[in-house]
């Protein structure tokens, strides 16, 4: 469980986050949405400790991250998995080496133990027998799956994804969404996803946090977002004619 209370963050005179309070539960895919400049990226970076809030707290299962000592902070960092926009794989390393990297950095496991874990997570993301390939030899979707495998190789309690579907075709994006949702449920991870992809919102949005001008403007589930009369949410999510028709059909069906 991640709990955020009255979070404020700014840079100089520019106030980016303005009193956000929310929570993210284990076993659920939670999505952060909003227009560019709404504060999504700063909020995500604050959650993972890259930004220090000026006011408010972020607690991970009761631990306030800014109050941890050096050893506690090191342990907390090891409980976090991150899927970066663009995958952020090491081009000069093989798939196996990319996925093994966190284990080499943070554990004292033998190579045999590390390789067993690497093979397990590669199998979990349907990339068995890809150990010796380099990122350039993989499709965009396969690179994302390698990034997910690397993010979960340390058995994280918390998984953060920054635009995991960026640059993917719609069909591949759905596969990545479902994979993240399955892993979240299977391992009861607290997963937070920063996204612009409205298909993700509809498909896996078990909790959706909508930010506007640095504030929490709305939160709910994918089913609730169909029914909301929040004007800012409707204008953002249903900006395309296709999604407007989908919403109209849903509302007519439940009348």
The residue extents of the domains of the chain are 2-221
Contacts 24+ apart (CB under 8 A), 214-217: 214/15, 214/16, 214/17, 214/18, 214/20, 214/38, 214/39, 215/18, 215/19, 215/20, 216/20, 216/21, 216/22, 217/34
Residues 179/146, Cβ–Cβ less than 8 Å: no
Closest among 88, 200, 193, 194 to 150, alpha carbons compared: 88
Q: What is the pLDDT along the chain (255 residues), one digit of tens a residue?
A: 999 999 999 998 899 999 999 999 999 999 999 988 899 999 999 999 999 999 999 999 999 988 888 888 889 999 999 998 888 899 999 999 999 999 999 889 999 999 999 999 999 999 998 999 999 999 999 999 999 999 999 999 999 999 998 888 888 999 999 999 999 999 999 999 999 888 888 889 999 999 999 999 999 998 888 788 888 888 887 776 666 666 666 666 666
CATH number of 2-221: 3.40.50.300
Tell whether pTM > 0.85.
yes
pLDDT at site 85: 85
Question: So what's the pLDDT on residue 231?
Answer: 85
Predicted local confidence at residue 178, as pLDDT: 93
Distance, CA of 98 to CA of 139 (rounded, Å)? 16
Rounded Cα–Cα distance for residues 185 and 181 (Å): 6
Q: What per-residue confidence (pLDDT) applies to 110?
A: 94
What's the pLDDT at 216?
Answer: 95
Name, in order, each residue with C-beta under 8 angstroms of 134's C-beta and a sequence gap of 6 or more: 91, 92, 93, 94, 95
Check residue 246 and give its pLDDT.
65
d(CA 237, CA 170): 17
Q: Which residues pair with 190 in a beta bridge?
A: 158
Q: What was the pLDDT predicted at 251? A: 63
């Amino acid at each position: 469980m991640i709990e955020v209370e009255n979070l404020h963050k700014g840079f100089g005179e520019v106030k980016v986050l303005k009193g956000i309070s929310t929570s993210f539960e284990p076993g659920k895919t939670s999505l952060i949405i909003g227009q560019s400049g709404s504060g999504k990226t700063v909020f995500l970076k604050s959650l993972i400790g890259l930004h220090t809030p000026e006011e408010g707290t972020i607690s991970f299962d009761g631990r306030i991250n800014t109050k941890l000592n050096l050893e506690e902070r090191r342990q907390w960092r090891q409980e976090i998995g991150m899927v970066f926009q663009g995958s952020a794989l090491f081009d000069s390393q093989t798939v196996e080496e990319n996925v093994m990297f966190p284990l080499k950095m943070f554990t004292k496991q033998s190579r045999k133990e590390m390789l067993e874990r690497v093979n397990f997570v590669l199998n979990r993301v349907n990339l068995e027998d890809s150990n010796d390939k380099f990122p350039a030899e993989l499709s965009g979707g396969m690179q994302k799956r390698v990034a997910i495998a690397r993010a979960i190789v340390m058995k994280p309690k918390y998984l953060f994804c920054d635009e995991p579907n960026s640059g993917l075709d719609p069909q591949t994006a759905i596969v990545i969404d479902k994979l993240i949702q399955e892993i979240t449920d299977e391992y009861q991870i607290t997963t937070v996803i920063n996204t612009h992809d409205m298909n993700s919102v509809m498909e896996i949005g078990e909790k959706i946090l909508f930010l506007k001008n640095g504030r929490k403007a709305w939160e709910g589930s994918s089913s609730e977002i169909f029914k909301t009369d929040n004007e800012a949410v409707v204008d953002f999510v249903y900006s395309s004619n296709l999604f407007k028709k989908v919403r109209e059909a849903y509302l007519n069906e439940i009348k």
